[in-house]
A and B are shown apart, each in its own frame.
Chain A
Amino acid sequence: MAKVLVVDDNQSMLMVLRLFLEKAGHEPILCYDGLEGLKQVEARKPDLIISDLMMPKMNGYQFCEQVRANPNSRDIPIIMLSARYQGVDKEVALKAGATDYLSKDTSQTALMKRIEELLTQSASSNVSNIANALIGVVSLRGGSGVTSLAVNMTVALSAALKTQAALIDLMPLGGHAALMLGLRPTSYVGRALVGLNNNNNLEELRTHFVAYSTTIHLLASASSGDAVVFSLDPLKKLTALLQSNFPISLFDLPRATLESDLAPLLKSFSKIVLVLSPDIPSIQSTFLALQILNKQGVPDDRIILVVNETMPQGGLPMETLEKALKRPLTVKIPFEPEMIVAINNRRPLLLHSPKSGGAAAIARLASTLV
């Protein structure tokens, strides 16, 4: 879910754009004029701005120039949407700092497509600031789509950075990351950890990985045999080795990480993506998970709360979840029907349906890790 600021003096236009944006799973912030718009840019830090051109107090050109003049907002994409649509108008709008200039005669579909494109581009450019990051994805609530998010975030981060990314499926037995990537690993994380007990060698560690592409490497969960209980020390060695050698390492963490002696490991991560589904049990689980993270000394700013809509309807609204958890949710991944198709085709959603709303939302989630 992205925060989209809409500045327009026409109330009907604001209402229409609010409906479009909410339907696409975004959070609209509505303003009637440029002055109020500038205050909201500062206060809410939107991911994208849609501005009218002809407005009282401050026209769209002036608003754009002010947004660009502020170092905190100069990189926010701005779509100027106007009834005044001639080449000369577009030229001046782009000079003033608009990212794009569209006629109000643009179709709903074309406008929403452009919004998603700009949000995705912006997410990719933001993500390029991240380096040598350890990211954990976890939930205390089963069925929240943790593995599919971890797989797709790895793809998003690797593509955005154009660099190596490691995905670690830390389920002791029966993790699904390899299946979702259509891989047949010959080794698995348990063996790698045994190897790390004996030495601390990156080359030896690499032999346990299976490559999905030239940039994405998976350390898979065992698909058969007995469940192994991991211990903290080799896991710490693993995280340290990965952090020194991979720009991005993403851990698909089992819920046991939160509940067991492994919990101190959580402090090693530069970001923890805590996933919840929009239902009442998830509120309880997330509340507990936050307590555990707090107890382990994980700072609040390292925790990214993500709502993953795994069902098409019936989920609790964001406001209800935020009120219950007493903290803001960072991102909502809207229900994406293509996700199950991608999983069954053993491809990440970002590669199977890169233009889908779900793929765009995951790319934006990746950008919040900066």
Chain B
Amino acid sequence: MDTVSQISQAIDRVTVDFFTGSYRFSASVIVNKYSLINVLRDKTTNHLNLADVYISPIDKPSDMIGPYPRGAIAKDEISFILLPRVLERVGQERLQNQKQLEVPVFITLPFFEIQGLSQWRKGDQDVKKLLLTDTQKFIPILQAKAQHTYLPTVNFQSSIILVNQLKVELLCIDDA
């Protein structure tokens, strides 16, 4: 079923929410006909080009400063990304192809804790593998909830959140 944004979305940009410890940025990422996942994996640049950037302090996540017509964000500084459902579907299909289990995970980042489901190969004992994949800078967490550590009323939910590996302090799984 086509959604309003799928039908209208210009193919060179997608609109997502980025989070750091202090801010929520809503912006369109210039993807130039590639998928957002591909742009995030692109090792030739450490930045993402943005358009129509709105900035919200994390303690007032519905306030909006902006818009700024153009911007750039350092990939390494992103804590996590909330994907719109249009992109979520793509991510879920990709993950389902791997025929892995979905196991509950708990992740801590600076200022945020994330709970959700992650793909896990049955019988695998080595949790750190999730953090060592060379190609996957951002780990997809399904049915995810992100909660601010010090402001518990500040929380966000999505069918898929992409968590920056570099920001992960602790990752626990429950594969019992």
Contacts and interface: CB of A to CB of B under 8 A. Distances in A.
Q: Verify that A and B bind, or say they do not.
A: yes
Interface of A: 9-10, 12-13, 15-17, 20, 54-56, 59, 61, 81, 83-89, 91-92, 103-109, 111
Interface stretch (B6-14, B70-78, B101-109, B115-123): B6-14
Interface in B1-60: 1-10, 15, 17, 26, 52, 54
B170 interface: no
B130 interface: no
Contacts of B8: 10, 12-13, 15-17, 104
13 contacts: A9-B52, A13-B4, A15-B8, A16-B4, A54-B52, A54-B54, A83-B5, A84-B54, A88-B154, A104-B15, A107-B1, A108-B4, A108-B7
Contacts of B157: 86-87
Contacts, number: 74
Contact of B86 (A55, A59, A81, A105): A105
A106 B4 CA distance: 6
A91 B62 contact: yes
A108 to B, nearest CB: 6
B64 interface: yes
How many B residues are at the interface, by size bracket?
20 to 34
Main secondary structure of the interface of B (DSSP, over half): mixed
B26 A105 contact: no
Contacts of A87: 157
B85 A105 contact: yes
Contact of A54 (B61, B67, B85): B67
B111 interface: no
Nearest to A16: B8
A83 B26 contact: yes
A104 B5 contact: yes
Interface in B81-114: 82, 84-86
Given A86-B61, A105-B5, 6 more contacts: A12-B10, A84-B17, A88-B61, A104-B3, A108-B1, A109-B1
A86 B85 CA distance: 12
* Of listed B4, B8, B64, B85, residue having the most chain A CB within 10 A: B4
Contacts of B61: 86, 88-89
Contact of B4 (A9, A81, A84): A81
Nearest to B68: A56
Interface of B: 1-10, 15, 17, 26, 52, 54, 61-62, 64, 67, 82, 84-86, 154, 156-157
Given A88-B61, A108-B2, A83 B7 contact: no
Contacts of A56: 67
A16 B7 CA distance: 7
* Of listed A9, A55, A104, residue having the most chain B CB within 10 A: A104
Given A54-B26, A83-B15, A111 B4 contact: yes
B90 to A, nearest CB: 13
A54 B62 contact: no
Given A17-B4, A54-B67, A83 B54 contact: no
Contacts of A86: 17, 61, 82, 156-157
B48 to A, nearest CB: 16
B154 to A, nearest CB: 8
Contacts of B67: 54-56
Contacts of A13: 4-5, 8
A370 B41 CA distance: 60
A83 to B, nearest CB: 4
Contacts of A109: 1
A95 to B, nearest CB: 9
Nearest to B82: A86
Nearest to A53: B64
A241 B67 CA distance: 63
A301 to B, nearest CB: 37
A83 B84 contact: yes
B15 to A, nearest CB: 4
Nearest to A62: B64
A101 to B, nearest CB: 11
* Of listed A9, A12, A17, A109, residue having the most chain B CB within 10 A: A12
Nearest to B156: A86
A12 B10 CA distance: 7
B56 to A, nearest CB: 9
Contacts of B1: 107-109
A104 B4 CA distance: 6
Contacts of B9: 12
Given A13-B4, A83-B84, A108-B2, A54 B10 contact: no
B62 A107 contact: no
Contact of A104 (B52, B82, B84): B84
